[in-house]
Structure 1
Amino acid sequence: MRMGRILSVVLVAALVIGTAGAFPEDDVYTKRIKIEMPAISIERQNEYLTIEMDGTSYYYSPGKPILPKIDKVIELPFGVIVKNVNVIVKGIEEKRIDEKIEPSFGPLPIMPYKVKARLPKLDMSIYKSKEFFPANWYSYRVGCGLNADGKRVTFVSIHLYPVRYAPALNKIEIAKEAEIKIEYTKPQKTLPQKSAYELLIITPNVFKEEAVRLAEHKNEMGMGTIVETVEEIYSLYSGRDKPEKIKYFIKDAIEEWGIKYVLLFGGLNSPIWAKAKDNANAGEKDWYIPVRYTNLYDNPKYPLAETIHDPGVASDLYYADIYKEGGEFDDWDSNGDGIFAAWNKPGVENDTLPDLYPDVAVGRLACRNLKEAKTVVDKIIRYETECDDSWFKKMIVVSGDGFLDQVDLNISWDTNGLPDGEYTIYAQSINDEGEEGPVDEIHITIDRSKETKLTFNHDDHLNPALQNGYPAPPIAEIVSVSDGDVLGNTDY
């Protein structure tokens, strides 16, 4: 909760509620939902105002005003075409405000400590405008994917903006309620309701024996499993590259067998050196199971003081995101220019946003050789058949806030040559201005006659140097061993 003087509280207090109905008319169905907006409060935070609304998220974009946002996801049958989404807002109240609404920071990645983040900078195209922001009361997108119950559905994700802001006029508009109307067709595509197989394992020939061994185990456990090799897939399917051939095969496996899970059995083909990326779109030559690379270029100079650059990443989501609206195949290349998932790439036309909702659960065992393949199958079988499961669901997790200015030193301590006994580990941090922080001290025991006992401890909140919060002296914290831990004869 932000602290500050409450200026006003308006609107009827109510959380999101809804009513819905579907009415076929000439093969077009209609779904209606009514949403009542929660009450808002306006508070002064330093030089800005903040607008708070219980039960909502917030719209964040670097330099733009932080405003409440209501997210509503409606599920429709898989394969429908959404003809229209219309939202009518009612009970609009206009209110004058005296100060500017707080702007948003940009995302702050964990970076080397020399990269300095700037304070929020106003986007003057918004803050000098007489137009209300956002420009519309709502936005939406449509996609296909697995819901929380593992069923394939059509998602209509609607984002409502119950408060809009005209900075140059010092005014906000507040909506009391919204009526959503969605029109859609009957499903254009249907999928099997029953599964001949649940799990599909895709493997290179070199790992086939181990993949079959894993499949036999899964079948014995009651999960119908089938194995296919990439060599066979490449010979039977057409596609612009190997990842696309595999994706077409997964599509057929869903539609013919009702597959729910896909296991990609293989990673790079060398534990020493391999070329991960062959071209802008894929890594193939040195991969047992190839990977798709996106071309989503990231160049977020703001809010950082210097430019960083991310030229796309490897993404197995490509193999999981089979369908888009209407149950059509989503190839991640909407404009057909041969550059997959392109956005902000210099000299390349942007693709429309891929669907990005997974239609099948995909995992990868990134084995680099036969020994690793055999080892991981052995471990899976042993884990699922022999282990005492009494500890599976027992976990204690203690967490706190992360620190964007934290630097993990990952210092190693080789104890092989040390005799058994009591030891003390010390750590101290000194910043580049010569300021010394407090000494962290941990007492441990080396006893090779006992099992190892290690605990993770992040207790810098108890440090007297931090009793008044930040800013504070530079802090060194030993976290991977704690007081009383034993370094014994077992590995962690």
Structure 2
Amino acid sequence: MEKRTKFIYKKWQAIFLGIFLIITFFSTISNADIINVEEKLQLSYYFESPNIESIDIAGNSYDRVTLPDCLPAGEIGEPMIPSKGIYILLPPETEDLNIKIIQKEKQDLGPGFFIEPMGKPIPISAVKNNFLPEPDENIYSSDELYPGNSYTKIGVYNFRGYQILVLLLHPMQYIPLTGELFYYKNIEVEIDLINGKEINDLYRGFSRDRAEVIKKVDNPQISFEYKENSKATMDEYELLILTTDSFKDGFTPLKTIHDESGTPTIIKTLTDVGSSELEDIRNYIKDAYTNWGIDYVLIGGDEDIFPAPILWVYGLDEETWPYEDFMPSDIYYACLDGPYNFDGDGKWGEPTDGEGGGDVDLFADVYVGRACVSDLTEVNNFVTKTVTYLSRDPEDEYLSNACFVGEYLGDHGIASWGGNYLDQIIDGSSDDGYTTVGINATDYNIDKLYDRDYEGNYWPPSEIINRIENGVHFINHLGHSSYDYNMRLINYDVDLLSNSDLCFIYSQGCMAGGFDEGDCIAEHFTVKTTSGAFAGIWNARYGFFWSESTDGDSQRFQREFWDAIFGENLPELGKANHDSKEDNIPIIGRSMIRWCFYQTNLFGDPSINILEPGGNTAPESPNTPNGPTNGLPYISYTFETSTTDPDGDELLYKWDWGDGEISNWMGPYESDEIVEQKHKWSEKGNYEIKVKAKDELGAETDWSEPLIVKISFSRYHTRQYSNFRLFNILHVFFHQFF
């Protein structure tokens, strides 16, 4: 008996040793593959014929050249040559090793062109006209190609764990000395990849994350190489309200209405964080993002109560170049990947402050807004206004009213009038080489309050007051501002407003959103009373435009914001605000783009959907799930459902599997599309499967009628299940130790 025992022991010892050697062998091969095996990505881009027109700037003749969906990215005084920003999704666990650009179908446009130089960004508060664009003589007297290189690598950024490579292609080349100009109709991009990079800690595997990244990149099919995780716990939330202990109860009515309307919300305080340090707050948001599945964060507190990251940025003021400034920016709480002060100095947000000395993270993992409240009265004011807007009848007539407020900016040619910029937001525009969808004049009552068109070229403060009091949904503004002055109103004027039809304001004015400098006028609009605005976007420091051009840096963010709302179907304020930033990442190094990227803070609840005139009809309740009604534990079964959205909106689905697990919102799917989802149970019992749907605007259905599924064992299946469990135990054992 003892000999047999020893024999069995030695036999098992030999088996384990053999398995160990096999695993070690294949692990060695695998490691070699990680070092040596390369993959390749290939993408193609086509460029239409450029548009070239002769222009006159202060008596100087230039040629202005534009390419569809391309944008100028140079420095001040350099030729304004259009380039194309591209967003390439890298496969999981890879990094780019080499980038190759293949240019095809060269098109010569001839010599003799004198290309317009890049202009100087002008603070919107500037009154002097000494900002005419001037050619850089060192470049314009050169016989070398400009920009010369075929592409510029902007960086690799992470969005919810998906790696996005951002490049700037240069399809057009220019020889300044001779004026020769040519471009390539086709450009192929080849990227050699190397394996071995770990999946980012921020990767959650949610289908809704995949649905979002698909909208951001040029090669969405790669997203399906990232493994999806459809499971979620019962502690899933979409909105985190982060405030102080004394304000917590004041935000409860806002949590209640969000919970009732299908946006699960949780309120936490700095006590829960355990600190008021910036990094600790950001890490807490990361944990909530990872463990609760949040998409939105509402910060409940002014800068002196709930700290705001103060980022450093390099730029230009009215008189001096270079110029630098510090500004409050909540993007630090939104973009969660890597550090924002890599070198440990006092300048957070430098372009070398990201991981390994690279750029800081610029893609938002969560969408952030701030209620700049200083006491319970202001909390109640903010919550009352937000709840009021969320409760509005979509049929209210005032929701169709949109006001455009433009001022005289100085003697700057076409840029002299704010109205010339704002006109690009009405019905959209393809001016300045890029296309954005705007506010449709067919759906909205467009009201222009422009100095350009007003008698005497100056409208008085009473004009904007009357419009707010009479009810206006959107206000778009471009004009002079300061910390306590905006749209020709001062703080006192705003506090006297009594409108019950609340508005949203987007202003390019300077410093009106500088909430670190006392109570700025944006705070008076949003938290000081129960009137005024329910939300808005204002600049923390200078807003910027360009002399002799409507291609202003601040203008790009305002145009892209409304394009997100109406063109990209991103009606949530937080998403739209950050989308306007991400659309400008390819030119983040241009003049004041980074400045504007940092400073355009959202004052308001980031999860709010802009209400559409005439309302939005909720989808019909989904059909009872269809699938097997009997099954075994640990075996995956497929179930399907569908529903119809009366407005034809895309739909998201959430599954309740009856065992305590509820899926994330899955999708998007087309209306009437049959949707499949798999699930397996670990215990015997009867389970009720239910499903609900919501459209892209947030209108949600009730749960469907349930399908009852019986999970049970038979004697045979019990033995089979025991063997299955033994196999799993051995599998885990070998995985852990070998």
Q: Same fold (TM over 0.5)?
A: yes
Which residue of 2 is the match for residue 433 of structure 1? none
Matched to 1:259, the amino acid is: I
Which residue of 2 is the match for residue 188 of structure 1? 199
* Equivalent-residue separation in structure 1 for 2:300 and 2:62 (angstroms): 54
2:81 to 67, 70, 80: 67
Query: After the TM superposition, which of the residue ranges 158-167 and 75-84 deviates more from structure 2?
Result: 75-84
Local SS of the residue matching 1:389: coil
* Equivalent-residue separation in structure 1 for 2:97 and 2:469 (angstroms): 65
Which residue of 2 is the match for residue 89 of structure 1? 103
Which residue of 2 is the match for residue 447 of structure 1? none
1:458 to 445, 449, 459: 449
- CA-CA distance at 1:213 after TM superposition: 4.7
2:271 aligned with 1:260, yes or no? no
2:307 aligned with 1:290, yes or no? yes
Matched to 2:175, the amino acid is: A
Structure 1: gaps (5+ residues): 1-23, 236-240, 269-286, 324-329, 407-454, 465-473
2:257 aligned with 1:244, yes or no? no
* Equivalent-residue separation in structure 2 for 1:338 and 1:462 (angstroms): 47
Native 8 Å contact 2:51 2:65 kept in 1: yes
- CA-CA distance at 1:367 after TM superposition: 0.9
Which residue of 1 is the match for residue 393 of structure 2? 388
Matched to 2:332, the amino acid is: Y
Residues 75/487 of structure 1: CA separation in 2 closer, same or farther (3 Å cut): closer
Which residue of 2 is the match for residue 121 of structure 1? 134
Q: Deviations over 1:134-153 (max 9, x none)?
A: 1311113344455xxxx764
* Equivalent-residue separation in structure 2 for 1:334 and 1:58 (angstroms): 30
* Equivalent-residue separation in structure 2 for 1:65 and 1:476 (angstroms): 36
2:356 aligned with 1:342, yes or no? no
Which residue of 1 is the match for residue 498 of structure 2? 491
2:40 aligned with 1:35, yes or no? no
- The total of aligned residue pairs comes to 370
Residues 213/42 of structure 1: CA separation in 2 closer, same or farther (3 Å cut): closer
Q: Deviations over 1:200-247 (max 9, x none)?
A: 121111112223453344333332222221123135xxxxx7111100
Which residue of 1 is the match for residue 459 of structure 2? 477
* Equivalent-residue separation in structure 2 for 1:456 and 1:265 (angstroms): 33
* Equivalent-residue separation in structure 2 for 1:295 and 1:175 (angstroms): 38
2:330 to 316, 328, 341: 316
Which residue of 2 is the match for residue 356 of structure 1? 362
Query: After the TM superposition, which of the residue ranges 362-371 and 216-225 deviates more from structure 2?
Result: 216-225
Native 8 Å contact 2:342 2:352 kept in 1: no
Native 8 Å contact 1:108 1:117 kept in 2: no
Residues 211/39 of structure 1: CA separation in 2 closer, same or farther (3 Å cut): same
* Equivalent-residue separation in structure 2 for 1:486 and 1:336 (angstroms): 46
Matched to 2:463, the amino acid is: V
Matched to 1:34, the amino acid is: S
After superposition, the CA RMSD in angstroms is: 3.8
Matched to 1:478, the amino acid is: P
- CA-CA distance at 1:314 after TM superposition: 0.3
- CA-CA distance at 1:133 after TM superposition: 1.0
Which residue of 2 is the match for residue 141 of structure 1? 154
- CA-CA distance at 1:307 after TM superposition: 5.8
Which residue of 1 is the match for residue 719 of structure 2? none
1:228 to 265, 268, 272: 268
Matched to 2:132, the amino acid is: L
Q: Deviations over 1:18-60 (max 9, x none)?
A: xxxxxx9977543211122212354443432333434433345
1:174 to 170, 177, 183: 183
- CA-CA distance at 1:342 after TM superposition: 3.2
- CA-CA distance at 1:262 after TM superposition: 1.0
Which residue of 1 is the match for residue 516 of structure 2? none
Residues 485/331 of structure 1: CA separation in 2 closer, same or farther (3 Å cut): closer
- CA-CA distance at 1:258 after TM superposition: 1.4
Native 8 Å contact 1:192 1:256 kept in 2: no
1:57 to 52, 71, 76: 71
Q: Deviations over 1:232-279 (max 9, x none)?
A: 3135xxxxx7111100111111122211111111114xxxxxxxxxxx
Structure 2: gaps (5+ residues): 1-33, 207-230, 412-445, 471-495, 500-738
* Equivalent-residue separation in structure 2 for 1:308 and 1:337 (angstroms): 20
- CA-CA distance at 1:183 after TM superposition: 3.8
Local SS of the residue matching 2:123: coil
Which residue of 2 is the match for residue 4 of structure 1? none
Residues 214/481 of structure 1: CA separation in 2 closer, same or farther (3 Å cut): closer
The percentage of aligned residue pairs carrying the same residue is 25
Matched to 2:85, the amino acid is: D
**Structure that is richer in helix per residue:** 2
* Equivalent-residue separation in structure 1 for 2:398 and 2:92 (angstroms): 34
The ranges of structure 1 where at least 4 consecutive aligned residues each deviate by more than 6 angstroms after the TM superposition are: 24-27, 484-490
Which residue of 1 is the match for residue 339 of structure 2? 331
Q: Deviations over 1:70-129 (max 9, x none)?
A: 22223446775333332221233556512422212121221242x333322111221122
Q: TM-score normalised to the size of structure 2?
A: 0.45
- CA-CA distance at 1:320 after TM superposition: 0.1
Superposed, 1:367-382 pairs within 5 Å as 367-382=373-388
Q: Deviations over 1:432-470 (max 9, x none)?
A: xxxxxxxxxxxxxxxxxxxxxxx9653655568xxxxxx
